[in-house]
Structures are given as structure tokens and as C-alpha cells.
Structure 1
């Protein structure tokens, strides 16, 4: 049976900054609209983190029972490594999904945004369907699109709406940037796994694009994510703070373009997660400093 430390590693804590980033951005956009609600922001963060952990456990379970993780390079896989039998991993995933939906329900009640109640089941279905079920969309190269939509657009815009009851240009631009960075993280993970994914028939977008184009797409996504907020400069001059992130992107971009050994790409996951979190903080500061003045 897996130890507590192995369960923690199986939750893939390095991906959790990407779960908090859209909440920070969405809350900043709400603040820019004069409607920041701390309790709603905290609940949105709880929902996002629980969904991310649930996704991680669900992927561990689904890939493990399919044999996709048998020769995986990277962090511990509970099911694939044999550290834990499949069913506890599946139960852990749905426990996280259930807790996320409960927190989401409380958020919907507090916000009075009853139409948002449908978002919870959609998020869980998307999380499970990535590698689970009979025809997982992650095996057909659609995982990147769903990550962009749910961990970028839905998470960010949902956070803003449950506080402000409306959306803004800052919310939309922040959502797109957040989604691009989250997708870049997934791309880095999938580039690392191209050889093993190809062998087991997992046709991720990285596999479909090929090694070099997939690596270039990572750099392009980071570049667009950082430059896009500059469109907000006339309204939020302090948004230029996001440019401070550029030096932080150099190391992972170089690794993605030059790293030949698959194991050398592992640090890119942590670095991209940090980039996502720092971007969110700088974006939020840009909006807050402008609004405060």
C-alpha cells in the first residue's frame, strides 16, 4: 500500500500553482470592477485545487490500468508503479471531485449565480474524460484544448463572475493568458512523454505535432501569454509588471528547445507552474495598483 508521502507525490503538488493562478487573476479582475469578495475567492481556490488534485489522481488511475505509465519518465505514478492498487486511486479522485462540487455549490449559493451550478458537473466530466472512460479525449489530442478551456477560461471567468456578477476585458485577457500557460505546462509534460505515449497509442497533441513543433509551441504559448496583457496598458498602466516575468521564462524555454534527454525536461514542469503563479501575482498587482490610484 502506498505511503502518505507517495499519495502526496501522486497528487503532483507541482501542478497546484496552476490551479491557483486563474483564481488570483479572476479575483484581480473582480477587484478592478470594484467587486472583490474574499470568501468567494477562497472558495474558488478550494474548488480549483481540489479539481486539479482529482484530475491528477484520475489520470494516474486511468493511465495506470491501461498500461500507459508502465515505462513513464517523471514523477511517481501510484497505479502504474504498483505502489497502490487501482481502486484506491479512483476513490481518491472522486473524493476530490465530490469535495470540489460541494465547495462549488456553496460558492454558487453565496454568489447567487445559479446557472453556474452546471459548471461543476461539466468540470468533473471533463476531468474524468481526459484519460478515463472508453474513449478518453486526452488520447486523441484534445487534452490541450480542454485544459485551455477549463483551467483557463472557465476557472478565471467563473472566479470573476461569482464575485462581480459580470466580466471585463481584463478578465478575458487574463483567462486566455492563464489558459495558455496551463496548456504550455501540459505540452511540456507531453513532449517529455512522446516516445512512451506513441508506443501505447496515446495521440496527444505533442505526438501529433511531432517533437520539434511541440517544443516550439511551448515557447510560443508562453510568449503570447505574457504579451497579451499589454493590450490592457491604456486602462491598467501597471499591467506592464508582467514583463518582469520574461527572465523567468528563459531557462524553461531553453530546456524545451535544447534538452535532448527526456528526463532533462522534468524541471520544466515545476518552472512552468512557478511562471503561472508569478504571472498571476504580477497581473493582479498591475490591476490593483492602477485601481488603487
Structure 2
């Protein structure tokens, strides 16, 4: 039976900043629109966290029963390592999804935006379908697209909308930026697992691009995310504060391009998660300061 520490590790806490980042950006965008709603922001954060934990357990379960994780290099997987029974991990995923839906429903009731129920259902289905079901889209190289859409556009713009009832250009730019960094996080994970994924028939985007181009795409996604704020600078000069994040990107970018050993890429996951969190904090700070001047 898996220990509490193993369950926490199985939830993959290093990926959780990717869930918080879009909520911070979306909330800051709402603040700029003079529509900051603290309760709505907190509820959105819990929805994002539960969805992220759910998709992590769902991936653990689905990859585990397919045998994809048998020779995994990265952090321990509950099913693949045999620490937990597949059904236990599956129900942990369902439990997290259930909590996300309950909190999300509370948010819908508060905002009276009932159509968001469909968005929430889409998020859960996308989370499960990444590696679950008969034709998981993560095995077709479409995982990056869905991560960009749901952990970038939907999470950020949804947060802004549930507070302000509208979206704004800064919210869109921030959504694209944090979505790209979330994709970079997934790319770092998939480059590390490239040999085992290819052998298991899991054709991630990294497998399709090949090792070299996959590594280069990581750097490209980080660069685009950070430089995108320049389009907001003419009207909001404080947004250039995001450029302070560039030095933090140099080490993980170097490791991705030059790291030869797959295990050497494991720290890149944590670093990229922190970059996403730092991006969201600086982006939000830039919006707050821009409103003040």
C-alpha cells in the first residue's frame, strides 16, 4: 500500500504552479478591469488545482495499466511502481475531478454564468482523455494543444470572466504566455521520457519532432511567452517587468538543449514550473502597477 508521501509524490506537486499561474494572471486582468472578486479567484484556484491533481493521477493510472511507465526515468508513478493498485489511483483521479466540479459549480452559481458548466465538463473530459480511454490524444501528439487551450486560454480567460464578466487584451496575452510555458513544461517532461514513450507507441509531440527539435521548441516556447508582453508595453510600460524573468530561463534552456542524460532533465520540470509561477506574479504585478499610473 502506498504511503502518504508516495501519494503526495504521485500528485506531482511540481506541476501545481501551472495550475495557479493562469488564475493569478486572470485575476490581475480582472483587477485592471476594476472587477476583482476575491472569493471567485479563490474558487477558480481550487478548481484549477483539483483538475491538475486529477489529471496527474489519471495519467498515472492510464500510463500504468498500458505499461508505459515500467521503465520510467522521472518521479515515481504509483501504478507503474506497484506502490498502489490501479483502481485506487483511478478513484483518486475521479475524486479530484469530483472536487473540481463541486467547486466549479459553486463558482457558476455565484456568477450565474450557467454555460460555464459545459466548459467545466470539457475540462474534465480533456483531463481524462489525455492518456485515458481507447484513443488518448496524448498518444497522438495532441497533448500540447490541449494543455495550451485548457491550462492557458480556458483557465486564464475563465478566471477573468468569472470576476469581470468580460475579457481584455492583457488577459489574452497572459493566457497565451502562461499556456506556452505550460506547454514547455510538458515538452520538458516528454523529452525526458522520449525513448520509453517511443518504444511504448506513445507518439507525443516530442516523439514526432525528434529529440533535437523537441528541445529547441522548449526554448522557443519560453522565449515567445516572455517576449509577448512587449505588445502591451506601449500602453502599459510596467509590463516590461516580466523581462526580468529572462535570467531564470537560461539554465533550464541550457539543460534542455545540451543535457545528454535523461535524468539530468528532471530539475527542468521544477524550474519550468517556478518560471510559470514567476511569470504569472510579474505579469500580475505589471498589470496592477499599470492601473496605478
Quickly name the TM-score band, shorter chain normalised: over 0.9
What is the distance in 2 between the residues matched to 1:292 and 1:162? 23
Give a deviation string over 1:236-288, Cα, whole Å, max 9, x none: 21101100000000000000000000000000000000000000000000000
Match of 2:165 in 1: 165
Describe how 1:119-134 pairs up with structure 2 within 5 A: 119-134=119-134
Shift of 1:74: 0.6
Match of 1:228 in 2: 228
Match of 1:101 in 2: 101
What is the distance in 2 between the residues matched to 1:229 and 1:22? 15
What is the distance in 1 between the residues matched to 2:32 and 2:111? 18
Shift of 1:114: 1.4
What is the distance in 1 between the residues matched to 2:112 and 2:286? 29
Match of 1:141 in 2: 141
Match of 2:264 in 1: 264
What is the distance in 1 between the residues matched to 2:123 and 2:69? 24
Shift of 1:82: 0.2
Match of 2:216 in 1: 216
Match of 2:179 in 1: 179
| Gap regions ≥5 residues in structure 2 | none
Match of 1:42 in 2: 42
Classify the secondary structure of the residue corresponding to 1:63: helix
Shift of 1:235: 2.2
Match of 2:292 in 1: 292
Shift of 1:14: 0.3
What is the distance in 2 between the residues matched to 1:45 and 1:173? 19
| Gap regions ≥5 residues in structure 1 | none
Give every structure 1 segment of 4 or more consecutive aligned residues whose post-TM-superposition deviation is greater than 3 Å. Answer: none
Match of 1:238 in 2: 238
State the number of aligned residues. Answer: 293
Match of 1:26 in 2: 26
